[in-house]
Structure 1
C-alpha cells in the first residue's frame, strides 16, 4: 500500500486513509462530504442489508458511507492497483470485510482485457493501447458477474466509460429492485465517441428521471436534464422519497443532516 497515509475521521464513527494529493478522499477533510448532495442522498436512501454497487470506487468514499455508516452490502469495483490497495485498506480500517466485496476489475459491456492509465489519480481511465503508464485489467459486465444480485442503488463514476457500463447492465436496469442511480456525466465519454445525452435518454426510457437532492429539506427537485458532473436518477419516487424523509440524521461538523 502507498506510504505516507494518515487515518482521518470521516462521518460519525467512520474514517479513511488520506495523504496529500489523494483527491478521492482529501476533499472530505475540508468539506465533510466532497460531493455533498450526492453523498447525502446515498446516506439517506440506504438501509441495513440493502445492496449497493460502487462502480469506479476509487479509494472508497461512497463505499465507506454505504457500508460503514448505513450497513449496506457493497460490491466495489476499482481497476487501478494503487487506488484498489487503499480501498482495501479503508475497508480494513473500518472493519467492513464482511459487508464489502472489493473487485479489482473494470466494468464494461463484456468480458475482455482493457488498458487503464495508472498515474492520473481520480481520473484514471480506459485507453486503447498499452504504455509505460498503463495497467492491464480484466473487465466484466454487471449482468453476467452478479446475476443473483440487484442493487437498490447503483453509483457509476468511470471517467467516460459509463455507456459501456450501462450496456452491460440491461437486466439490472430493468429490475424494479433498482430504485436509483448516481452517475457522472461530464462529457468524458467524448474520448470514446459517446454522447452522454444518449445515456440520459436511455435512462428516461427505463422510467428514471433526473433530480437534484436537497439534504436539508430531504427533498428531490426535478431537473429537465443531467448535470455536468454527478446526476441522481430515480425511478420509484414514492419509495425513494419515503426512505429519504424517514432516514436517521447523520452528523457532520457537529450538524445533524
Structure 2
C-alpha cells in the first residue's frame, strides 16, 4: 500500500499539469480515495468540457484523469489541439476510453476504438453511452495484429492486459484478431497505439494505412515490452521514419513540438507533414482544464 502511494505521489509531482496545481490535485486524489472506499460501484466524474466518465477503484486507465486532469497530458493535449471534427481518430488499445472520449466527446470527430478485453470493452461502451456519442464512435471488441485469426489475451490486468506470449504461464482467454488495414474506410488522421508490446504486429497489419497521406500523427508506446514477443522496437522506428514520420515530444502550454533523436520509453509522437500539423496546433481552440485554458 505504501509503495503504491509513493508511486502515485511521485506521478502527481512529476505530472506537467498536476504539479502546477498540487493542492487541487491532492484534494481530488484524497476525495477519490474516500469515495472509492465507501462506494464500490461506478461513479460519474467530470473530464474535459461537458464530457464525463464512469470511474471505479482499480480502473487505472481512467482514474488518473481525476487527480491529474489529463492522465497523459502531452499526448492528450496534442489530440485536443490537433484533431478537428471532420477527422477520424483510431484508438488502438482503447481500454475504457479516455482518448475516445476526448476525440469524439470533446473534439467531435469520428473514432474507431479497438479493445479486446471484454471487461474494459464493457466500460468503454458505458462511457460512450454516458456521453451520447454512439453515432461518432465505432467500438470493436477484438485485437489487431499482423494477420486475422485468434490469440490468447489476459483479462484481469486492467491497463496491462496484453497478448499472452508463447512461454507465459498466466490466465488468458482466446480473442479474435483482425488487421488494421481492413478498417481503412475512415482514413484516419491520427492513430493512438498502446498494446503492451504488440505494436509491431499491429503495424505489420497496417502497411497500406500507413502509406495514406491523410495520416499525419501516431502516438505509440515503445518501452521495451515488445521483447516478450521477440520484436525489436528499433525496427518500428526505422519503418516509421522510412515513411516520413519523425519522433517528437509535444508541449501543450506553448503548443510546440520538440524533435527527438529516438523514441522515448514512454509514449512517442511520430509526425509527418510538420507544417500541416503545426498549423493545426497553433490555430486550435483552447481547451479548459480545471479553470485553466490551454
Q: Same fold (TM over 0.5)?
A: yes
Name 1:172's counterpart in structure 2. Answer: 209
Q: What does 1:50-69 correspond to in 2, within 5 Å?
A: 50-69=87-106
CA distance in 2, matches of 1:128, 1:159: 11
CA distance in 2, matches of 1:40, 1:192: 31
* Paired residues of 1:163 and 1:189 also in contact (CA < 8 A): yes
1:111 matched to 2:148? The reply is: yes
Deviations 1:219-243 (A, max 9, x none): 1111101010100010110110000
Name 2:158's counterpart in structure 1. Answer: 121
Specify which of 188, 210, 223 is matched with residue 186 of structure 1: 223
Name 2:64's counterpart in structure 1. Answer: 27
Specify which of 153, 164, 171 is matched with residue 133 of structure 1: 171
Higher strand share: 1
CA distance in 1, matches of 2:108, 2:147: 30
Deviations 1:185-207 (A, max 9, x none): 11110100111111011111110
1:47 matched to 2:84? The reply is: yes
Name 2:180's counterpart in structure 1. Answer: 142
1:10 matched to 2:47? The reply is: yes
* Paired residues of 2:187 and 2:215 also in contact (CA < 8 A): yes
Aligned residue pairs total 254
Gaps of at least 5 residues in structure 2 are 1-39
Gaps of at least 5 residues in structure 1 are none
Specify which of 79, 87, 109 is matched with residue 116 of structure 2: 79
**CA 133–147 in structure 1, closer or farther in 2 if over 3 Å, else same:** same
CA distance in 2, matches of 1:132, 1:204: 36
Deviations 1:10-54 (A, max 9, x none): 011101110111100010001000100000001100000200000
C-alpha displacement of 1:149: 2.6
* Paired residues of 2:165 and 2:229 also in contact (CA < 8 A): no
CA distance in 2, matches of 1:253, 1:238: 31
Q: Which has the larger radius of gyration?
A: 2
CA RMSD, Structure 1 to Structure 2 (Å): 1.3
For the residue of structure 2 that corresponds to 1:126, the secondary structure is coil
Query: Structure 1-normalised TM-score?
Result: 0.96
Name 1:234's counterpart in structure 2. Answer: 271
Higher helix share: 2
* Paired residues of 1:80 and 1:135 also in contact (CA < 8 A): no
Q: Which runs of 4+ in 1 moved over 2 A?
A: 128-133
Query: Structure 2-normalised TM-score?
Result: 0.84
